[in-house]
Amino acid sequence: MKKLFALLLALIMVVGLIACGAEKPVEEVEEVVEEVEETVEEVVEEVEETVEGGNLVGVAMPTKDLQRWIQDGENMKAQLEAAGYTVDLQYAANDIATQVSQIENMIANGCEVLVIASIDGEALGSVLDQAKAAEIPVIAYDRLIMGSDAVSYYATFDNWNVGVKQGEYIVEALDLANAPEGTTYNIEYITGDPGDNNINFFFDGAISVLQPYVDAGVLVTPSGQTEKAVVATPGWATDAAQARFESILASYYADGTQLDAVLASNDSTALGVANALASSYTGEYPVLTGQDCDIANVPNLLAGTQAMSVFKDTRTLAAKVVEMVDALMQGAEPPINDTETYDNGTGIIPSFLCEPVSCDINNYVEILIDSGYYTADQIGG
């Protein structure tokens, strides 16, 4: 604005000089003309920046604590920038108030689409109302944002299938279908943050596979901790998972009782379980599940102290979200492949679900290294 003012002033001076005609020396006129040219250039730059701002995409990620979110954010930023967009990528250190204020800033800065991986799917209400009022489409990323009609689309993995794969792995590893009459297997459960809608899919998907064996009395839980709310882990925190399992192991397995399986919904909780097992369990290692194929968990996969993880290729998800953003920017329909599964309380949110893949020691080279996701050096493979 100031520059525009300067430009006007300079123009007035030029006109004045011309009006004075031959009375002004040529050098003085040339000087003013030069000044006008410089100011014009600056104004053009400013206008260009404003237009670029019109390409702004806000990407709000929950935390840098977990490797997967760093990868998600970086992948998306790189791909959106390659497609010509400007990206405001923010991480909120798992703090809801920080995430809310980051989103407020993105709206104030004129972003045209918001991509949000929420910390707590229930906690974003009013800032999303602001987005809706400003007609900014919101794409819920990986985790569904609940109770808000400002959510336009949802991009994630098939979260139910993540749980199914974990449940199936346990069934096959223990060969539960052929369990001899009267044999029982001990299983304990752990899932993630109660504010993350995904746990309903991870946990319930796995239980849908395990329940027949629970009903038949083949799978039993010595701790009695089977309810989702009881086996949840605030913030998906590794230390909380470890503390809970240390207490379970001390109370129910210290007498030599064999623990056969642990259904862990993801790698950060599986890591806590593995730490607890390493410090306070001497029996045969249980079949331990996970999700994400975090670098921190790969050594356990190789050592056999975590049986499997579910690989979710964040590059695929990022690419899908870039397609969605691009379509929204062009006023077109974003790609979706599911219009039935994800109801956020205000109705079904049109979704794109990417496919998760089961990963263990037998296929990790192909999935993690050959695909270029990690280098062999990164995971020591």
Instruction: List contacts with ligand BGC (CB under 6 A).
Output: 66, 68, 142-143, 192, 196, 198, 236, 266, 268, 291-292
CB 160 to ligand BGC: min, Å: 12
Residue closer to ligand BGC by CB (options 176, 273) is 273
Backbone Cα Rg of the chain? 28
C-beta of 100: minimal distance to ligand BGC in Å?
18
Provide the minimum distance between the beta carbon of 53 and ligand BGC in the complex, in angstroms, as a whole number.
Answer: 31
Residues in the chain: 381
Shortest CB 266 distance to ligand BGC, Å: 4
Nearer to ligand BGC, 11 or 295 (CB): 295
Nearer to ligand BGC, 283 or 299 (CB): 299
Cα angle 139-141-144, degrees, rounded to a multiple of 5: 90
Q: Which is nearer to ligand BGC, 259 or 317 (CB)?
A: 317
Whole-angstrom distance, CA of residue 211 vs CA of residue 193: 22
Nearest approach, Cβ of 259 to ligand BGC (angstroms)? 23
- Residue closer to ligand BGC, measured from CB, 17 or 70: 70
Q: Give all strands of the β-sheet with 287-288 in edge-to-edge order.
A: 219-220, 185-190, 261-264, 287-288
Smallest gap from Cβ 66 to ligand BGC, in A, equals: 5
Q: How many CB atoms within 10 Å of residue 266? A: 30
In the complex, what is the shortest distance from the CB of residue 49 to ligand BGC, in angstroms, rounded to a whole number?
35
Distances (CA, A) of 252 to 215, 220, 222, 286, 323: 21, 12, 6, 14, 50
DSSP-derived secondary structure for 194-261: TT-THHHHHHHHHHHHHHHHHHTTSEE-TT---SHHHH--GGG-HHHHHHHHHHHIIIIITTSPPP-E
DSSP result, 114-163: EEE--SSTTS-HHHHHHHHHTT--EEEESSPPPS-TTEEEEEEE-HHHHH
- For ligand BGC, the closer of residues 66 and 155 by Cβ is 66
Measured from the CB atom, is 291 or 300 closer to ligand BGC? Answer: 291
The two three-digit tokens of residue 92, written as one number: 């909120």
Residue 335 is given by DSSP the state P
Q: Give the integer Cα–Cα distance in Å for 205 and 191.
A: 12
Q: Which is nearer to ligand BGC, 192 or 334 (CB)?
A: 192
SS3 15: helix
- Distance between CA 59 and CA 2 in Å, rounded? 31
Q: Which position has the token pair 């086996």?
A: 231
**Smallest gap from residue 121 Cβ to ligand BGC (A):** 9
Cα–Cα distance for residue pair 278/223, rounded to 1 Å: 19
Considering beta carbons, is residue 112 or 142 the nearer one to ligand BGC?
Answer: 142
Closest approach, Cβ 109 to ligand BGC, in A, equals 27
Residue nearest to ligand BGC (CB): 266
